A = this chain, B = another copy of it.
Amino acid sequence: MKLEKEKLLDMYEKMVRIRKFEMKVEELHIQGILPGLKHLYIGEEAVAVGVISALREDDYIASTHRGHGHCIAKGSDIKKMMAELYGKKTGYCKGKGGSMHISDIDIGILGANGIVGANIPIASGAALSIKLRGTDEVAVSFFGDGAANEGIFHEGINLASAWKLPVMFVCENNQYAISTHQSRVTAISNMGDRASSYGIPKFIVDGMDVLAVHQAASKAVRWAREGKGPTLIECKTYRFKGHYVGEGSRELSYRPEEELEEWKKRCPIEKLKSELIEKNILTCSLAKKVSDKIDGEIEEAVKFAEESPYPDPQEALDDLFFEGALR
């Protein structure tokens, strides 16, 4: 499969945007500016971008606690994202959601989710909706290796396969659920192998290689659009940061520094960058331009968030029920 130059550059840019956004989030959190919990996507950019670049704009995704990357890849406005992280009224959820609940239904983002695995049936339900409406979008559920041990993983995928729904299950296997290595809590090495329990195709790919991810995802998308049902894509990846911002030195209690260093050498952005440079699609100066442009965007996002007002306390009472007419 050959991707057009623009597409490749767009993928590169998105990965850089995710990375820089997350670095800014980390910085602002450590400075005590951002409240709440944040789980950074740094190191895993190739998964979100690889998968989502295989989607159409009208396709759906359902995201996780580690969700900023998915949103950015799907096209979220980072100004509204940053404002949400600040708890400002101009954020995606008017400050009601925060990092773990960003959603943008207009561009098919069904929401990040603070409950691990919970998005699996939600994305599948969107796929059911697609099937019932007779349209040809697809839905994607992202989740981690930890989520793959939750009961809802099983229920959700089984039903999707029984009903042949157009949904892709993307397991972002970064090997750890907080401090717990997957090998300590499951007896198999590839979560992708669980596809056989549901009679669906599996793809097990290098999650640090955005092109490999993109290729697998493209096949899965085609499979779904053709009405053949769900697929399970396992992307082997790694988070370069602690489980959440502020975990600090506790991280080293559960994963060896050498392991981290090894994986960092496989940085997905560096990898794509050198491939693109090799293919003469990217140059160092273009890369610099991209970097500068995104720095600017992020600065703007922070400024937007900073200058936005907090919601009025009374607004806490709004938005619980839809108050308009019945159907």
Chain A interfacial positions (CB closer than 8 Å to B): 149-155, 158-159, 161-162, 184-188, 193-194, 196-200, 229
CB distance from A182 to the nearest CB of B (A): 9
What are the residues of chain B within 8 A of A187 when measuring CB–CB? 158, 161-162, 198-200, 229
Max count, chain B CB within 10 A of own CB: residue among A185, A197, A198, A199: A197
What are the residues of chain B within 8 A of A184 when measuring CB–CB? 162
Pairs A-B, 6 closest by C-beta atoms: A151-B151, A154-B154, A187-B199, A161-B187, A194-B197, A188-B199
What are the residues of chain B within 8 A of A159 when measuring CB–CB? 149, 185
Give the dominant DSSP class at A's interface. Answer: helix
Each complex incorporates copies of this chain amounting to 2
CB distance from A121 to the nearest CB of B (A): 10
What are the residues of chain B within 8 A of A151 when measuring CB–CB? 150-155
A150 touches B155 (CB 8 A): yes
Pull 29 A–B residue pairs with CB atoms less than 8 Å apart, ordered by A.
A149-B155, A149-B158, A149-B159, A150-B151, A150-B155, A151-B151, A151-B152, A151-B153, A151-B155, A153-B154, A154-B155, A158-B185, A158-B186, A158-B187, A161-B186, A162-B184, A162-B185, A162-B186, A186-B198, A187-B198, A187-B199, A187-B200, A187-B229, A188-B198, A188-B199, A193-B196, A194-B197, A196-B196, A196-B197
CB distance from A167 to the nearest CB of B (A): 13
CB distance from A92 to the nearest CB of B (A): 30
A186–B163 CA distance with the chains assembled, in angstroms: 8
Known A-B contacts: A153-B154, A161-B186, A196-B197. Give 19 more (CB < 8 A): A149-B155, A149-B159, A150-B151, A150-B155, A151-B151, A151-B152, A151-B154, A151-B155, A154-B155, A158-B187, A161-B187, A162-B184, A162-B187, A187-B199, A187-B229, A188-B197, A193-B196, A194-B197, A197-B197
Max count, chain B CB within 10 A of own CB: residue among A162, A196, A198: A162
The closest CB in chain B to the CB of A164 belongs to B187
The closest CB in chain B to the CB of A153 belongs to B154
What are the residues of chain B within 8 A of A198 when measuring CB–CB? 186-188
The closest CB in chain B to the CB of A194 belongs to B197
The closest CB in chain B to the CB of A149 belongs to B158
CB distance from A230 to the nearest CB of B (A): 9
CB distance from A128 to the nearest CB of B (A): 14
A200–B193 CA distance with the chains assembled, in angstroms: 13
CB distance from A191 to the nearest CB of B (A): 9
A196–B190 CA distance with the chains assembled, in angstroms: 11
